[in-house]
Structure 1
Amino acid sequence: MRDDSGGITIIDTGYVRPALCAAYLVRSEGRAALIDCGTATCAPRVLAAIDAAGVDRASIDWVMVTHVHLDHAGGAGPLMRALPSARLVVHPRGAPHMIDPTRLIAGAKAVYGEADFARDHAGMLPVPESRVVIADDGHVVDLAGRALVCVDTPGHARHHYSVWDAATRSWFAGDTFGISYRELDTERGAFVIPTSSPVQFDPGAMKDSVCRILAEAPARVYLTHYGEVTDCQQLGSDLIAQVDEMAALARALARDPDRHGHLVEALTRLYVKRAQRHGVTDAASRVPRLLAMDIELNAQGLGDWLRRDAC
């Protein structure tokens, strides 16, 4: 857990490894909101961090999930049971899956497998419909007078919004503004890659969403994976260029009988090359190790996109 300026606390949810998955506690005038929350198995750790921050659980008015992938929203059900005043703010496309997570659970098991699901995601619970607030594009969450604006940002998923906090000129971008692990920072700043994980990746929509984020000239963007990044205009340009490169790689392999395996290899080469240019030490070994799960999921998402595009 780390406190930033503007009443924002970064919580490491503990998903998979340290500094991989963040939740954000935002405080204003004695009230609080939690933005993204990790998986169900992360809920005890998130609650402990809230307590350690000196925040009364009853003062948390909002749990805001940028989208309903389980590393962002899987813990919502258990957390809502422990946060008596909170309402859940969710994209209209995601709300049914928070009220009844049956299909979410089945989809996650298909992606991760039964064993990994049991280890990292078990314990999901439904959220009562009476406590769910639908966040259409432009929906404003009032946190004791501090406006948190939910902006529709598809591309990673159709059920994704990002949160604009004008008080700090910051975005809470979920997965729309990519993945950036602190282990790959250099003197040039953060190293970022897009996340095209299954099953709704849309390269055009993702580029449009990145542009929408950049249009506010943000001072910083808070990523779920992981933490705060600055130099937002440069990172946004890098993301847009990489989305185009990733789509081109996928199209070139569209008819390859081992498309997935070759996509994993091609993405690995792309990210290693970019990391080397960014000054990442020993990028050829560190990037495949640190980004292994992300590369696998990105390849799956690109494959899903190709299948939809061919229809």
Structure 2
Amino acid sequence: MSLPLVIDYEHGISSIDAQFHRPRRAAIHLIVEKGAAALVDTGTSFSIPGVIESLKQKNIAIEDVAYIILTHIHLDHAGGASECMRFFPNAKLVVHPRGASHMANPARLVAGAMGVYGETEFRRVYGEICPIDANRIIEAPDESRIDLNGRSLLFLDTPGHARHHNCIYDERSQSFFTGDTFGVSYREFDVNGLEFVFPTTSPVQFDPVAAHASIDRVMGYQPRYAYLTHYSQIANLAHHAESMHYLIDAHVEIAQAAKHDETNRQAVISNALSKLLLQRLSEHGCRLPRAEIDELLSSDIRLNTQGLIHWLDHPAERFKRL
């Protein structure tokens, strides 16, 4: 097994590459405070051996992992949670209240993913997902806190990408771990130190009104950095918040323009999203070859298209709260 890419930042924060499909697509964040450790998001079950090896390299004992924190329960963020709980004997799992029952009994979560991928592909990508003892699960409602060896972590309910989504504010670093709330930012698109950020509207709970509100709520804390699961630390947050607001509205406009196209809607939306992001990347100064850009964006455009179609087809859910 090769050691995953690890990037060390200030204030005891590191990113560990989840090795999800390709390097630098999904990050697992490690927070260390006076010998105690927490992981934010887990990747898949196949990510955990690399996490354990990275902890060994940092001389962090598995017994010192106090918390496994999930921003939300989509499987690229939470698929490795049960494997973490198996390997880290003293860890508690911290999750949004709407996601806790799915961690204790993942049958519906697994069945839904298998319905999308098929069982063979699901097992190949995500491996085994097992129930987690409810006694080891901590529900983190809005404005709750946990203490990591004297370091306060604040949980904010931030729907928009998913109704079971928290962003975690770390007072020590004055930064947020944002999961998917603050979008996606692949390091390959950085130009002269400025990152490129775009929304993720993947199925099935995209809510643009809530997404705007969650971004504004995060920015209300005037954070220094955001740590995105896809992919890790970004600065320039005022610029990116403005861009996210613009792009969320642009995604909605693209979806609504294709609303009544029953035969080509998926292709129309997908092509329009590709054109939008290519134009924004050009304005950003990205000079990567078109083939490389397409490869980096293809999965996100496919998922964003699926999420927008679900949003169009389920208008009643726009006002639903579980």
TM-score, normalization by structure 1: 0.97
Are 1:256 and 2:261 counterparts? Answer: yes
Are 1:228 and 2:233 counterparts? Answer: yes
Q: What is the CA deviation profile of residues 151-170 of structure 1, one whole-angstrom value per residue up to 9, with x for unaligned ones? A: 10000000000100011111
Which residue is equivalent to 1:103?
108
Shift in alpha-carbon separation, 1:52–1:188, aligned structure 2, 3 A: closer
**Aligned with 2:227: secondary structure?**
strand
Are 1:127 and 2:132 counterparts? Answer: yes
Are 1:201 and 2:203 counterparts? Answer: no
Q: Is the 8 A contact 1:275 1:283 kept in 2?
A: no
State the alpha-carbon separation in 1 of the partners of residues 270 and 289 from structure 2: 16
**Aligned with 2:37: secondary structure?**
strand
State the alpha-carbon separation in 2 of the partners of residues 211 and 111 from structure 1: 33
Report the AA paired with residue 236 of structure 2: D
Report the AA paired with residue 158 of structure 1: R
Aligned counterpart in structure 2 of residue 70 of structure 1, from 69, 75, 81 = 75
Q: What is the CA deviation profile of residues 96-138 of structure 1, one whole-angstrom value per residue up to 9, with x for unaligned ones? A: 1100111111111223333431211011111100000000001
Are 1:289 and 2:295 counterparts? Answer: yes
Structure 2 matches for 1:1-311, cutoff 5 A?
1-187=6-192, 189-257=194-262, 258-282=264-288, 284-309=290-315
State the alpha-carbon separation in 1 of the partners of residues 207 and 292 from structure 2: 28
Report the AA paired with residue 112 of structure 1: Y
**Alignment root-mean-square deviation, CA:** 1.2
TM-score, normalization by structure 2: 0.94
Between 273-282 and 114-123, the greater mean CA deviation after superposition: 114-123
**Aligned with 1:25: secondary structure?**
strand
Runs of 4+ in 1 over 6 A off after TM superposition: none
Between 3-12 and 253-262, the greater mean CA deviation after superposition: 253-262
Report the AA paired with residue 280 of structure 2: R
Report the AA paired with residue 6 of structure 1: H
Q: What is the CA deviation profile of residues 158-210 of structure 1, one whole-angstrom value per residue up to 9, with x for unaligned ones? A: 00001000111110000000000001111261011100000000011011101
**Aligned with 1:216: secondary structure?**
coil
**What fraction of aligned residue pairs are identical, expressed as a percent?**
41
State the alpha-carbon separation in 2 of the partners of residues 114 and 297 from structure 1: 19
Q: Is the 8 A contact 1:33 1:62 kept in 2?
A: yes
**Aligned with 1:93: secondary structure?**
helix
State the alpha-carbon separation in 2 of the partners of residues 150 and 109 from structure 1: 30
Q: Is the 8 A contact 1:32 1:61 kept in 2?
A: yes
Report the AA paired with residue 175 of structure 1: D
- Structure 1 residues without counterparts, runs of 5 or longer: none
State the alpha-carbon separation in 1 of the partners of residues 147 and 82 from structure 2: 22
**Aligned with 2:43: secondary structure?**
coil
Between 285-294 and 243-252, the greater mean CA deviation after superposition: 285-294
State the alpha-carbon separation in 2 of the partners of residues 118 and 310 from structure 1: 33
Between 167-176 and 254-263, the greater mean CA deviation after superposition: 254-263
Q: Is the 8 A contact 1:179 1:194 kept in 2?
A: yes
State the alpha-carbon separation in 2 of the partners of residues 46 and 117 from structure 1: 21
Report the AA paired with residue 20 of structure 1: R
Shift in alpha-carbon separation, 1:104–1:158, aligned structure 2, 3 A: same
**Aligned with 2:98: secondary structure?**
coil
Q: Is the 8 A contact 1:276 1:283 kept in 2?
A: no
